[in-house]
Amino acid sequence: MNRSDLTLMAILCTGILLFSMIGPLRESYVQINAAHPYLMAFLKFSILATVGESIGHRIKTGRYYTPEFGLLPRAVVWGLLGVWIAIAIQTFAAGTPYFLQNLGLKQAVNVMKGPLCPEKVLCAFMISVMMNTTFGPVFMTIHKITDTHILNCRGRLRALITPIPFGEILSGLNWKVQWNFVFKKTIPLFWIPAHTITFLLNPQHQVLFATFLGIALGIFLSVAALAHRNAE
């Protein structure tokens, strides 16, 4: 662990402590988040998820940043993906309880509005399953495509305005790693349990928690890239 690792840990810990200990700061966040949910989703993901990818880059290369990494393009793309995630969280949180009611869990909608109980955990788990088995794989594949596109553009800002060759990138993906690790392992073993917790939180904190999970995604993708490299 070098000085840059310690600096990053200090910054993250300081931010968490300030947010948890300063009441007016939390209240301001809740108010701004309620008034501008998608703008806040953009900002949270563009910062924290990019930090996660920087940690992943450190795992792969030993450095948090290199020119071809494309810090600014990644931040913009993560911001846009963050808005998409916020919409998905709201959509599945609102729709899945009605689906569960049709299956026989008559109080699913009301349970999700009430205090923690076994039924609420079950509903949150089912919401997570629905989101991670439909939206999740599509999101992860889109992210992999944009990540590859930024690398192909050598991390330059032109990556944001250059058309993405979806077919070419899709055909070049290592689907064995994408399926056997990213889908088959991280979805059931991490994302479904983690997002179960997400849907048990108050709505104003769900996207923020999902943003911190974006840090984990950056690490997972780096591990997947290392697995791909070792397989070759």
Question: Do 103 and 9 fall within a single domain?
Answer: no
Residues 23 and 54 both lie in one domain: no
Pair (175, 71) in one structural domain: yes
Structural domain count of the chain = 2
pLDDT digits (tens, 9 = 90+) for 13-66: 787 787 777 878 778 878 888 889 999 999 999 988 888 888 877 877 778 788
Tell me what pLDDT residue 159 has: 94
Q: Give percent of the chain above pLDDT 70.
A: 92
How many beta carbons lie within 10 A of that of residue 177, not counting itself? 19
**What's the pLDDT at 200?**
95
d(CA 46, CA 13): 19
Same domain, 64 and 31: no
What is the average pLDDT score of the chain? 87
- One domain for residues 15 and 50: no
* 20 and 127 both lie in a single domain: no
- Same-domain pairing of 29 and 111: no
What sections of the chain are H helices per DSSP? 3-21, 23-35, 37-44, 50-61, 71-103, 108-113, 118-152, 166-172, 175-177, 186, 192-200, 203-231
- Contact predicate 207/85, CB 8 Å: yes
pLDDT band at 223 (very low <50, low <70, confident <90, very high): low
Clarify whether residues 3 and 42 are in a common domain: no
User: Do 6 and 82 fall within a single domain?
Assistant: no
Cβ atoms of 73 and 155 closer than 8 Å: yes
Verify that 11 and 91 share a domain, yes or no: no
* Global confidence as pTM: 0.86
- Angle ∠(220,223,228) on CA atoms, nearest 5: 125
Residues 71 and 168 occupy one common structural domain:
yes
pLDDT of residue 42: 95
Can you give the residue range of the structural domain that contains 3?
1-35
Interatomic CA distance for residues 120 and 131, integer angstroms: 16
Which two tokens mark 121? 């955990």
The amino acid sitting at 75 is A
The mean pLDDT of 131-138, rounded to a whole number, is 96
User: Does one domain contain both 79 and 169?
Assistant: yes
